Amino acid sequence: MNGQLDFKDKVLVIDDEQAVHDLIHKHLSSDGQEVYHALNAEAGLSMSGKLRPAVILLDMNMPIMDGHEFLDIFRERFLFPCSIIAVAGPAGDVNFERCFKKGVSSFLHKPFNSYELRAVVNSSVNMQRLQRPVTGELSQRKAIKSIEEKHLRLLDEFETIFDNAPFGLAYLDTEFNVFKMNRFLYDFTGFNPEDIIGKPCYETVGEFAADNAKGGNVRVCSFCNKAEVFMTGERTTFERPLGDHFLKVTTVPHFSKNRSIDHFLEVVEDITWQKEAEEKIVRHYQIQGTINSILQISIEPISLTDVLQQVLDLVLSIPRFSLKSKGSIHLMDDKARSLTLIAQHNYTEVQLKACATVPLGVCLCGAAANTGEVVYSEMVDARHTITYEDIAPHGHYCVPIVNDNKVLGVLNISIPEGHKREAGEEDFLTAIANTLAGVIVRKRSDAQILEREEHFRSVVESTRNAIITINSEGKIFFWNRAAEDIFGYTFNEVKDKPLTKIIPERFQEDHLKEINRVMKTGKTRAIGETLELYGLRKDGSEFPVEFSVARWEASVGTFFTAVLVDITKRKQADANLAESFDNLRKAVGGIIRTLSMAVEAKDPYTAGHQRRVADLARAIATEMGLSKYQIEGVRMAGAIHDLGKIWVPTEILSKPGRLHESEFTLIKNHSHVGFEILKTIDFLWPIDQMVLQHHEKLDGSGYPNGLSGDEILIEARIICVADIIEAMSSHRPYRPSLGMNITMDEIVSNRGILYDADVVDAYLRLA
């Protein structure tokens, strides 16, 4: 056979092995066949749609998508005639019955026999050639049926869309009779189909009008512009109100084959919300424009009264409010509980006098201020309690000016008598009042700021302390009069000069480093602290200063303000005081030593006890972190805490045996005796109370007064523990030393009960 096929007879090989394609191409190309190759099933589907091959050689065992999946998709997706030859391996592991059901016409097994391959392929091609006429006719019938079915579906979809459209649709003939209408128009007009279908449109939505030619009223229809459509042949759009609605009616002509109009389509849209939105937009722009003008007025350097007058004139210049061209602005006087007239437009002298002051709750403006709500009146009614001679008929909008729920005043606009209340109008006035509230608050705030600035300036300039401000570069930005007096420079001499001008040379490098560090990290040890330094006067002399620094930010940068005090006199006074204190401390120390020696002379067995208690008490106080002042007081009180034993007979103090109860009672009185001796001496510390309380216990079991807890001085609690430790660990006439183990058990077991826990803990850290 010559094997020559026409140009439509293409062969597509779908196999994941390139070698298979090369082999098939070699065998079939000699027959003049066009052979194409796809390496997987997905590529084969794509190429099938483009090539429309007469024959497909399909490998049934490809990965990802095998031959069976390919056949399912191919038959669902494509309708063109095609012979499919299934290709299987030598094992024949293919379900032939399943393949035939899916449209496979022949089978081939690998490896291919050249004669078998060519015979099967050419046979399949010839079969396709014979079937093409029949297949073409069947395909044409299927296509026609498909078009008819599609047309029916489109008609059904059109009916669904037509009937459920969110706007009105109606078909009218050239006599304006309605022959089709959708559900929207039935619902909108309230008519049933039998009321309107086949009848002229003007019988349902028309109106009567005079017709001179016909001599009377006739039914006409102004709902749309069909007459204009007849004349121009073009669609028309007509907007009109209908009851509470606003409609947009579009009339579209439909032409016959001879280009004459044979019917109309009318599209009816309810554009009420669009019209309302347009009105809101216009009102919004009007409000915004007025607000912008008010804000522009408010930033001018004029008084609040002038601002309110200009704003009132502006509002009354708007056409909708210029019908009466009269109004006023009152501000609230909280103390007097009344409104005061601040601005007015076109008020007569009589009206000015009558409305100069309006008590809260009186007349319309007073009512608006009292309730915080808009008060409206279309005439001079009973609420208009403030009247005057020749009062003209009019109405009012009285709009409260409110900020943060507080009424600041009232905007009063006069309107013509009988004017109907409008929500848009009221919204506009409320927006103006709200803007005025912000302007009033800001203007008052600005006035307060100016007052505070003036006050601050007077304070800064009258203070005897130097106040100096520098910028982030360390240059002087501000310098008050006190700074001029202290340093000897005028402000003009130091303005924009580095601060190092008033700092001794030996401190300048550290100052510059600190400025740089603050700029980089934002931290400085000077902020919030009071520090001392040396300043440099104009005459070159140095003097001590005490200063504190605050950092603050402004739009132009970072600044530091320091308050400096010349402490030369204080330093001298401190030195004199320190010298006096040292002399006094030495004198008191001498007294303490004398008293301590007197006690030890009376009681040789306890010689050195007070000194050891004083040393231990001082060590404990230091460990606890008490101040130097307290530590010194503890030491002194510890050195004479047993001063009262001078009053106890020597035979009792040195008695070797157990003391009788009366004898112990006598000894216990030594703390009170010590207090009586010391209370007349003017010590720098409450030493008399420390001596009196050094035998008191936390639980109140001590003596002489049974004090407990914080009623006992901390110094006395320290001496108590030091006294117990020293006494128990030392020899006594009536017993030997108890040793440190028993002493430690005593203070630890009674920690927080008899003895202060912090004191015990401090001793344990020292032990």
More confident residue, 604 or 342: 342
Same domain, 364 and 323: yes
Same domain, 213 and 248: yes
Q: Which CATH number characterizes residue 32's domain? A: 3.40.50.2300
Alpha-helical segments (H) within 175-250: 183-189, 193-196, 202-205, 226-232
pLDDT tens digits for range 202-249: 666 655 444 454 455 555 565 666 667 777 778 888 887 777 788 888
Report long-range pairs for 123-130 (Cβ below 8 Å, ≥24 apart).
124/54, 124/55, 124/83, 124/85, 125/5, 125/9, 125/11, 125/33, 125/54, 125/55, 125/83, 127/83, 128/9, 128/54, 128/55, 128/81, 128/82, 128/83, 129/9
Asked if residue 156 is part of any domain, the answer here is no
Same domain, 298 and 185: no
Cβ atoms 480, 462 nearer than 8 A:
no
Same domain, 618 and 670: yes
Cβ atoms 89, 61 nearer than 8 A:
yes
Same domain, 410 and 490: no
Domain boundary among 141, 157, 188: 141
Give a three-class secondary structure readout of 114-161: HHHHHHHHHHHHHHHHHHHHHHHHHHHHHHHHHHHHHHHHHHHHHHHH
Q: Return the residue matching tokens 């024959």.
A: 55
Same domain, 610 and 711: yes
Residue 210 has a pLDDT of 47
Question: Residue 2 pLDDT more than 50?
Answer: no
3-state SS assignment for residue 553: strand
pLDDT tens digits for range 355-414: 999 999 999 999 999 999 999 998 888 898 888 877 888 888 999 999 989 999 999 998
Q: Return the residue matching tokens 């919004």.
A: 284
Domain boundary among 270, 295, 330: 270
Asked if residue 148 is part of any domain, the answer here is no
Asked if residue 183 is part of any domain, the answer here is yes
Q: What whole-number distance in Å separates Cα of residue 432 and Cα of residue 263?
A: 54
Domain boundary among 419, 446, 473: 446
Asked if residue 246 is part of any domain, the answer here is yes
Q: Where are the beta strands (DSSP E) in 431-541?
A: 466-471, 476-479, 530-536
What's the whole-model pTM score?
0.39
Q: Which CATH number characterizes residue 599's domain? A: 1.10.3210.10
Q: Return the residue matching tokens 């570069």.
A: 473
Asked if residue 366 is part of any domain, the answer here is yes
Beta bridge partners of 523: none
Q: Which CATH number characterizes residue 289's domain? A: 3.30.450.40
Same domain, 625 and 737: yes
Between the alpha carbon of residue 402 and those of residues 115, 228, 368, 411, the distances in Å are 102, 56, 11, 11
Same domain, 287 and 333: yes
Percent of the chain at pLDDT exceeding 90: 21
Q: Which CATH number characterizes residue 229's domain? A: 3.30.450.20
DSSP string, 11-73: EEEE-S-HHHHHHHHHHHHTTT-EEEEESSHHHHHHHHHHH--SEEEEETT-SSS-HHHHHHH
Q: Which amino acid is at 586?
A: K
More confident residue, 715 or 681: 715
Asked if residue 2 is part of any domain, the answer here is no
Question: Residue 662 pLDDT more than 90?
Answer: no
Same domain, 439 and 506: no
| For residues 623-644, average pLDDT | 88
Structural domain count of the chain:
5
3-state SS assignment for residue 248: strand
Please give the distance of CA 685 from its chain centroid, rounded to a whole number.
57
Range of the domain at 226: 168-270
Same domain, 16 and 136: yes
Q: Of the given ranges (81-85, 520-524, 562-566, 615-619), which has the lowest mean pLDDT?
A: 520-524
Asked if residue 79 is part of any domain, the answer here is yes
| Average pLDDT for the chain | 82
pLDDT tens digits for range 38-55: 999 999 999 988 888 989
Same domain, 245 and 387: no
Same domain, 357 and 215: no
Asked if residue 453 is part of any domain, the answer here is no
Cβ atoms 165, 184 nearer than 8 A:
yes
Q: Of the given ranges (339-353, 433-447, 507-521, 532-546), which has the lowest mean pLDDT?
A: 507-521
Residue 24 has a pLDDT of 86
